[in-house]
Amino acid sequence: MKPEALKPGDTIGILGAGQLGRMMALAAAQFGLKTHIFGPDGGEPAFQVCAAGTVAAYEDEKALAQFADAVDVVTYEFENVPAATAAFLAARRPVRPGPFALQTTQDRLVEKDFLNGAGAPTAPYAAVSDEASALEAASRLGLPAILKTRRFGYDGKGQILLRAGEDAAQAFRALGGAACILEGFVPFTKEISVVGARGLDGSFVAYDVCENEHEHHILSLTRVPARIGAQTAAAALALTRKIADALDYVGVIAVEMFLVEEGGERLVVNEIAPRVHNSGHWTLGGAQVSQFEQHVRAIAGWPLGGPRRLGRIEMRNLIGDQCEAWPAILAEPEARLTLYGKAEARKGRKMGHVTRIFPENE
Amino acid sequence: MKPEALKPGDTIGILGAGQLGRMMALAAAQFGLKTHIFGPDGGEPAFQVCAAGTVAAYEDEKALAQFADAVDVVTYEFENVPAATAAFLAARRPVRPGPFALQTTQDRLVEKDFLNGAGAPTAPYAAVSDEASALEAASRLGLPAILKTRRFGYDGKGQILLRAGEDAAQAFRALGGAACILEGFVPFTKEISVVGARGLDGSFVAYDVCENEHEHHILSLTRVPARIGAQTAAAALALTRKIADALDYVGVIAVEMFLVEEGGERLVVNEIAPRVHNSGHWTLGGAQVSQFEQHVRAIAGWPLGGPRRLGRIEMRNLIGDQCEAWPAILAEPEARLTLYGKAEARKGRKMGHVTRIFPENE
């Protein structure tokens, strides 16, 4: 083990207390690691399973300093950790994945520039900073196109689809005049993702390619393996490794891609998630080592685990009142239910997921 | 679901804060259940992963009353819960498994009487309450035999092997004059166990029979399946179900048995553990549903999960400084490491375990 590796009994500090932090904390516990959760809302689910918790704002430097003192490494469950928070903590403790991955993925324009620089294909795009540049971008890329805020978008929030003939300047105003990016239309037939992990020593392991379906911009179904050609699958894994290497990444990374089928299969990178990812939830029980264990291994400086899949996978999110199906799911012999410990099943809220594992060729 | 079933968000109260309580708490978290740990020593491992904890003596009725108010069901990780504690809690909340299972398994004499009453074969035995009855029992059963305290024995503690010619009265004095039982010699060739679960509705599910090896009276290795005949394996499962039914049991139960091979295979029940059991730790990652999840399902009043084994199993305990092998184990592709979060690797202390899963016929 390297000197910077954790040892059992050490403490992982996790920024964010939602279901991703919760599942990371449970994975850390397997190895006798303690977790200390930091988040602004004490009612969040990760606080139910940690050795210690700090309820404070991400800007609270006194709380951050105490948190840093109490942990051996810092990680996070979401990419919108404020840059100042990451920098404050990185000056005191290793932050994994590092601040560069955060900076790169927090801003859609920076991310697209990075991807193209790393040789990863993206949709055509243009920066939009005012109404004039909105109109100019729409004219250059053509419509349909999607106007997205550069920062803080997720699950379809902060974006507007512009159909042919629609007004880009009006859409820019509707997004509050925030700095945006216009993304050209990609005629994709499938959405896929690769969930991989890069170790402190640069080693890389990825799960099989996931095929994702969304409803109302929220992931609803992941199938593994994706129904794509073997060469395309290999290319998706290679792209993910290239991106992880270029970020000098440590931890689990997910890369969302579009599959374009126009005389052959072609990949377009949509976005990078510098964290464990919803499309990798099936690895809990569906793979030799889960993405959460893999993330813990990576940020601990330990060897990565095996990504072997235990069957053909279907993972469905339980959104809002879909979680009320829990009694029926518990009674299904081959279903693995995970619920996140959230008190209220609000509309659009991710409450849990169910993974079904079938024999490989069924 | 029955009205007495839990629902996600409810709280399981667990008496005992060791590794068994810890692994139960982690399993409960999968379903969005909270856990409240009650134990006398705040440094114990289960306190690191629970939503709430009470550090108090098992005799502290004020603390017990508050604990009962805060939970929806009570379970335990060890059979030596004081009878008064169990009764106090059972008057306030469902205690699962019930107090009858505790009473029966806390006392080796009561347990043996119960087993014989239920039609389960045991070693010959005799109650020993003073020096005279010790000598009488030794003369009747013959030596070698084992003198054991009726209560509070575990991992070989509280027992003395009496060889031919040795003095039973002296052994009785050496055990402090506590009420004892003398158990006649069983010429066993293997030690096996069955880990099963009985639901609130009387349903029963068991894992494949485990074959156990001990060192210094502590479990060191469990292999599954046990290398015994199919008929014997079926008989072991049937015996376990018979015992669970007779106890009107709810939860995971383990029955330790001896295999005697004298012109065919014969089973002798050694003892009952009214809880999750060390020989079932392989089910974490080695079976479709772990014994900890199974226990949670049972005491929650939910359907039991599937016991399907994912390969041929070898589970080794990591005792004392054996846990120092963790870096090598983490680097093994097919090894699943669990560490319990104990600070000090004292001699004879169970620090963790490693499960290796091989293809079935290898």
φ/ψ of residue B277, rounded to 5 = -135, 145
Residue scoring higher pLDDT (A155 or B157)? B157
- Say if B11-95 and B190-358 have the same CATH topology: no
In a 13 Å sphere around the CA of B273, the CA atoms on its Cβ side amount to 22
pLDDT band at B49; cut points 50, 70, 90: very high
Single out the residue of A129, A284, A294, A272 nearest to residue A205, CA to CA: A294
Interface contact B26-A49, CB threshold 8 A? yes
Output the pTM of the full model: 0.96
Assembly ipTM: 0.95
Give the span between the Cα atoms of A22 and B29, in whole angstroms: 9
Q: Estimate the crossing angle of helix B99-106 against helix B108-117, to 10 degrees.
A: 110
Residues of A in contact with B340 (CB under 8 A): 32
Single out the residue of B113, B68, B66 nearest to residue B93, CA to CA: B68
φ/ψ of residue A136, rounded to 5 = -65, -45
Question: In the prediction, which pLDDT does A3 show?
Answer: 74
Residues B275-322 pLDDT 10s? 999 999 999 999 999 999 999 999 999 999 999 999 999 999 999 999
Spell out where chain B has E strands.
Answer: 11-15, 34-39, 52-55, 73-76, 125-128, 145-149, 159-162, 180-184, 190-198, 204-206, 210-215, 218-224, 251-261, 265-273, 312-319, 335-339, 350-358
Q: Which residue of B has its CA nearest to A285?
A: B285
Residue from the list A305, A333, A339 with its beta carbon closest to the beta carbon of B8: A339
Q: Give every strand in the sheet of A125-128, ordered side by side.
A: A125-128, A180-184, A145-149, A159-162
CATH topology of domain A11-95: Rossmann fold (3.40.50)
b/e per residue A131-147 (b: at least 16 CB within 10 A): bebbeebbeebebebbb
Residue from the list B26, B303, B343 with its beta carbon closest to the beta carbon of A29: B26
Superfamily of domain A190-358: ATP-grasp fold, B domain (3.30.470.20)
Q: Using DSSP bridges, classify how beta strands A350-358 and B180-184 pair: parallel, antiparallel or unpaired.
A: unpaired
- Residue A74 carries which side chain, given as an amino acid letter? V
Q: Flag whether pLDDT at B1 surpasses 80.
A: no
**What tens-digit pLDDT sequence spans chain A (362 residues)?**
777 899 999 999 999 999 999 999 999 999 999 999 999 999 999 999 999 999 999 999 999 999 999 999 999 999 999 989 999 999 999 999 999 999 999 999 999 999 999 999 999 999 999 999 999 999 999 999 999 999 987 667 889 999 999 999 999 999 999 999 999 999 999 999 999 999 999 999 999 999 999 999 999 999 999 999 999 999 999 999 999 999 999 999 999 999 999 989 999 999 999 999 999 999 999 999 999 999 999 999 999 999 999 999 999 999 999 999 999 999 998 899 999 999 999 999 999 999 999 998 76
Give residues with Cβ within 8 angstroms of B187, minimum separation 6: B260, B262
Interface contact A26-B49, CB threshold 8 A? yes
Q: Residue A168: left (phi > 0), alpha (psi -120 to 50), or beta?
A: alpha
Give the span between the Cα atoms of A105 and B135, in whole angstroms: 79
Helices and strands: H and E segment counts in chain A: 11, 17
Residue from the list A22, A29, A50 with its beta carbon closest to the beta carbon of B341: A29
Q: Which residue of B has its CA nearest to A5?
A: B327
Residues of A in contact with B327 (CB under 8 A): 1, 302
Domain limits of chain B?
11-95, 124-184, 190-358
Instruction: Report residue A132 as tokens.
Output: 């004039």
Give residues with Cβ within 8 angstroms of A292, minimum separation 6: A23, A24, A26, A27, A276, A283, A284
SS3 of B114, please?
helix
SS3 of B71, please?
coil
Give residues with Cβ within 8 angstroms of A202, minimum separation 6: A245
Interface contact B297-A30, CB threshold 8 A? no
Instruction: Assess if CATH 3.30.1490.20 describes domain A124-184.
Output: yes
| Cα angle: A37, vertex A40, A46; to 5 degrees | 35
Q: Flag whether pLDDT at B153 surpasses 80.
A: no
Q: Using DSSP bridges, classify how beta strands A52-55 and A34-39 pair: parallel, antiparallel or unpaired.
A: parallel
In this complex, how many residue pairs, one in chain A and one in chain B, have their CB atoms less than 8 Å apart?
93
Q: DSSP letter at B15?
A: E
Residues of B in contact with A341 (CB under 8 A): 8-9, 29, 32-34
pLDDT band at B173; cut points 50, 70, 90: very high
Residues of A in contact with B51 (CB under 8 A): 47-49
Residues of B in contact with A45 (CB under 8 A): 32
- Give B342 to chain A, closest Cα distance, Å: 7
Q: Which residue of A has its CA nearest to B9?
A: A341
Give the span between the Cα atoms of B295 and B96, in whole angstroms: 10
Interface contact A339-B48, CB threshold 8 A? no
- Residue B83 carries which side chain, given as an amino acid letter? A
Q: Cβ distance A331 to A277 under 8 Å?
A: no
Whole-number Cα distances in Å, B300 to B34, B71, B201, B293: 12, 12, 11, 10
Whole-number Cα distances in Å, A31 to A26, A48, B24, B30, B234: 10, 18, 15, 17, 35
Burial class (CB in 10 A: 0-12, 13-18, 19+), A230: exposed
Residue from the list A306, A330, A341 with its beta carbon closest to the beta carbon of B34: A341
Residues of B with CB under 8 A from a CB of A: 1, 8-9, 22, 25-26, 29-34, 45, 47-51, 288, 297, 302-303, 305-306, 310, 323, 326-327, 330-331, 333-334, 337-343, 352
Q: Which residue of B has its CA nearest to A356?
A: B288
Residues of A in contact with B302 (CB under 8 A): 327, 330
Q: Which residues pair with A71 in a beta bridge?
A: none
Average pLDDT over residues B150-178: 89
Give the span between the Cα atoms of A213 and B264, in whole angstroms: 58
Single out the residue of A12, A167, A157 nearest to residue A74, CA to CA: A12
Q: What is the H or E stretch that residue A204 is in?
A: strand A204-206
What is the percent of chain B where pLDDT is above 70?
Answer: 99
Q: Cβ distance B341 to B312 under 8 Å?
A: no
Interface contact A341-B32, CB threshold 8 A? yes
Q: Which residue of A has its CA nearest to B30?
A: A338
pLDDT band at B152; cut points 50, 70, 90: confident
Q: Which residue of A has its CA nearest to B357?
A: A288
Question: In the prediction, which pLDDT does B155 show?
Answer: 67
φ/ψ of residue A15, rounded to 5 = -85, 120
Residues of A with CB under 8 A from a CB of B: 1, 8-9, 22, 25-26, 29-34, 45, 47-51, 288, 297, 302-303, 305-306, 310, 323, 326-327, 330-331, 333-334, 337-343, 352
Q: Using DSSP bridges, classify how beta strands B73-76 and B11-15 pair: parallel, antiparallel or unpaired.
A: parallel
Interface contact B8-A343, CB threshold 8 A? no
Q: Using DSSP bridges, classify how beta strands A251-261 and A265-273 pair: parallel, antiparallel or unpaired.
A: antiparallel
Residue from the list B30, B34, B48 with its beta carbon closest to the beta carbon of A338: B30
In a 13 Å sphere around the CA of B4, the CA atoms on its Cβ side amount to 13
- Give A2 to chain B, closest Cα distance, Å: 11
Q: Cβ distance A25 to A46 under 8 Å?
A: yes
